[in-house]
Amino acid sequence: MIFKFFAENPTAAYFLVILAVVFSYFIQFRLQSTFKKYSRIGSRNNVPAHVIARRILDSYGLQHIVVRHIDGNLTDHFDPRSNEVALSDSTFFSTSVAAIGVAAHEVGHAIQHNKNYMPLKIRSLFVPVAQIGSKGWVILFLLGMIMGIPIFVDIGIVLFGCVVLFQLLTLPVEFDASRRALNVISGQGLLERDEIGGARKTLNAAAMTYVAGLLVALTQLIRLIAISGRRRN
């Protein structure tokens, strides 16, 4: 019913996508401003984020995982293939509340990997499918529309649907990593009690970027299905 509505009202489908994109930009702005705010607040322990990351890893017996510095701003990530927690320019040497929260979050992913966290395993299995979908959906969808081959259009939509599903599977992984980060920060006394709120707000703002990304992709999927339905009609 919803797809029929958007097929009959294409302007509404475009408007939905625009709203999602605007929301995504707002969330990105909120992340940048939140990180900037709490990057100016140094932790009273005065320990750099990369040292904090190393301490947490060692406390979980993950001495084999390397903490390394990478270029960029908020490009922090955990790479399970190389067993590396990569911390960006804005995080690695910083002693701020925000940087420690981000570093602990990435270590949270390392802990997930070590504990065979099921949502992470499912997401990892889905990576090749999502990669194929992200590269192939546009070509097939456009070919199908231009050449009038409905099966190509349908396959393109299914492939893009796989991208959307991957983003959906990412949400519990990211939220759980933040939960683990805040628990270990509190449990090991890595931040003072009144400083944990700043780390929490930073991680919540970061998590919302994944929610916004999912909403943009989902509205785009609705638009593609609506376009296909309108073309068939």
Residue 189 has, within 13 A of its CA and on its CB side, a CA count of 1
Strands ordered across the beta sheet of 66-69: 66-69, 84-87, 77-79
Q: Using an 8 Å Cβ cutoff, are 101 and 199 in contact?
A: yes
Q: pTM of the entire structure?
A: 0.88
Q: Using an 8 Å Cβ cutoff, are 210 and 170 in contact?
A: yes
Q: What is the pLDDT of residue 10?
A: 61
Q: Of 165, 76, 75, nearest to 125 (Cα)?
A: 165
Q: What is the pLDDT of residue 8?
A: 59
Q: Using an 8 Å Cβ cutoff, are 64 and 83 in contact?
A: yes
Mean pLDDT of 108-118: 96
Query: What does pLDDT average to over the chain?
Result: 92
Structure tokens at 62: 């993950």
Q: Using an 8 Å Cβ cutoff, are 159 and 138 in contact?
A: no
Strands 84-87 and 77-79: antiparallel
Distances (CA, A) of 174 to 46, 226, 227: 27, 31, 32
Q: What is the pLDDT of residue 208?
A: 96
Give CA–CA dist 153/76, Å, rounded: 36
Q: Of 166, 176, 173, 153, nearest to 218 (Cα)?
A: 166
Q: In which element (H, E) is residue 185 found?
A: helix 150-187
Q: Of 218, 213, 209, nearest to 178 (Cα)?
A: 209
With 0-12 / 13-18 / 19 or more C-beta atoms within 10 angstroms meaning exposed / middle / buried, residue 40 is exposed
Indicate which residue of 8, 84, 106, 192 is catalytic: 106
Q: What is the pLDDT of residue 133?
A: 93
Q: What is the pLDDT of residue 16?
A: 85
Q: 63-100: per-residue pLDDT in tens?
A: 999 999 999 988 999 999 999 999 999 999 999 999 99
**Is 174 part of the annotated catalytic residue set?**
no
Which residues span the domain enclosing 225? 2-232
Q: Using an 8 Å Cβ cutoff, are 214 and 167 in contact?
A: yes
Structurally, the chain folds into a number of domains equal to 1
